[in-house]
Structure 1
Amino acid sequence: MRSDNGPWPRLLVVALIPGLVVLAARAWVVEPVIVSSDSMVPTISTGAVVLLYKPAAASGRIRNGVVVAFTSPLDGHTAIKRVIAGEGQTVAIRDSELYVDDVAVPEPFVDHSRIDGTYFGPVKVPAGRVFVLGDNRGVSIDSRDFGAVPLTAIQGTLLTGQK
């Protein structure tokens, strides 16, 4: 005896598959994140929605200059900052100018006139960590405050807002 339930089982499968694909992509590939601070202005505005690319974090190879999201060591929330230096590199700020391994790093996204007279370091980035800074240095709470971020805390790189 054959039971015919009509088109419902097939429609259910057809409706569920796209939803499962979207959920899987969000869990393992790309996730939207709302920016809740002004520490990356002017690159990324407060309230902007950016896309977080997760496979980049899994690789463990994050290059300097990339904007990343990570779990903040201060409160456990997601923070967004720019990677300035990787393990073994030395970071210093002299009169608002960034130096990595004693070489000045051009930063067209930073308003140096607002942070004139800022000094920091030098500090060497420990193994398995990256040094992060906000582009809006005057208000950013970053590696100058909480130290270098473990690579294991990196959630992903931003697909938008890169300079």
Structure 2
Amino acid sequence: MTRWREYVTTLVLAVACALFVRNYVATAYKVPTGSMQPTLKPGDFIFASRLSYGVSLPFSRTKFDITLPERGDLVVFSYPNQPGTSYVKRVVGLPGDRVQIQNGRLVLNDQPLTYEKAENSSRDNPNAEMFDIFSEKSEGLEWRVIMDKQSEGRNFGPLVVPPGEVFLLGDNRDASDDSRYWGTVPLAEVAGKVVIVWLSLDWQNKWGSDRYPSVRWERVFSSLR
């Protein structure tokens, strides 16, 4: 009985530690769609740090010591109307920012961001005939986005981000459901910062009689910006 008691105690402690880490330190997520391409791809498995923007109280949605994300951060969050669903988007607007989109291009605080056409590889661009990949640059930061070649007339705003909230966009700008459609997100709903892709499965390229996905080895344990 003593040995069984030791086994059960060890198992309970292991489960408790795993749950603690998952809920309060780091959580794994799977990327199901292409709304964050080219940064995140369908089939990516990511880790998000839950300590980056504050500490959650146990058994509560309340957070304290909330820290403001930086512009350009990739964040996991829950939209208030769908608390059971996790999303991943990029922070582009901070509290007080004036956000606008003119002809598909982002304007922050009346200053247009800089766009430079990036390398157009078949791995990153879902349809090179319809879309281009650009480096989007803001205040010394840059990340890649996918944009429709015909983006004229695609406008939004202006909108001033309320205090305690952030404005989020998908990197695949013309295939993303984001703050343009459902508004800004309270900081309390931001669960963590995406820090790494630990596995990436490509279901478009299968093997084993077309049953198993291939692995994008170049993305395994790759850090993110």
What TM-score results when the alignment is normalised by the length of structure 2?
0.64
Q: How many percent identity over aligned positions?
A: 29
Higher helix content, 1 or 2? 1
By relative contact order (CA 8 Å, sep 6+), the higher-ranking structure is 1
Question: In the superposition, relative to structure 1, how do residues 97 and 148 fare at CA in structure 2: closer, same or farther (>3 Å)?
Answer: same
* Structure showing greater Rg: 1
Q: Residue 115 of structure 1: CA displacement? A: 5.8
Q: Residue 86 of structure 1: CA displacement? A: 0.8
Q: Residue 70 of structure 1: CA displacement? A: 1.0
* Counterpart amino acid of residue 52 in structure 1: A
Instruction: Specify the SS of the correspondent of 2:28.
Output: strand
User: Are 2:182 and 1:119 equivalent residues in the alignment?
Assistant: no
The whole-number CA distance in structure 1 between the counterparts of 2:14 and 2:193 is 25
- Aligned residue pairs total 159
Contact 2:147 2:172 in 1 (8 A): no
In structure 1, stretches of 5+ residues that fail to align are none
RMSD: 2.0
Q: Residue 122 of structure 1: CA displacement? A: 1.4
User: Are 2:68 and 1:61 equivalent residues in the alignment?
Assistant: yes
Contact 1:69 1:80 in 2 (8 A): yes
The whole-number CA distance in structure 2 between the counterparts of 1:74 and 1:136 is 23
1:1-163 correspondence runs (5 A): 6-58=2-54, 59-73=66-80, 75-76=82-83, 77-106=85-114, 107=136, 108-114=143-149, 116-117=151-152, 118-160=154-196, 162-163=224-225
Cα deviation code 1:24-71 (max 9, x no counterpart) = 111110010111221101100112111121112323311110011111
Of the structure 1 ranges 124-133 and 75-84, higher mean CA displacement relative to structure 2 is found in 75-84
Instruction: Specify the SS of the correspondent of 1:83.
Output: strand
* Counterpart amino acid of residue 165 in structure 2: R
Question: In the superposition, relative to structure 1, how do residues 114 and 32 fare at CA in structure 2: closer, same or farther (>3 Å)?
Answer: farther
Contact 1:115 1:137 in 2 (8 A): no
Cα deviation code 1:58-104 (max 9, x no counterpart) = 23311110011111245441111000011101111122221211223
Of the structure 1 ranges 33-42 and 127-136, higher mean CA displacement relative to structure 2 is found in 33-42
Of the structure 1 ranges 91-100 and 78-87, higher mean CA displacement relative to structure 2 is found in 91-100
Instruction: Specify the SS of the correspondent of 2:180.
Output: helix
In structure 2, stretches of 5+ residues that fail to align are 55-65, 115-135, 137-142, 198-223
What TM-score results when the alignment is normalised by the length of structure 1?
0.85
Task: Return structure 1 stretches of 4+ with deviation > 6 angstroms.
Answer: none
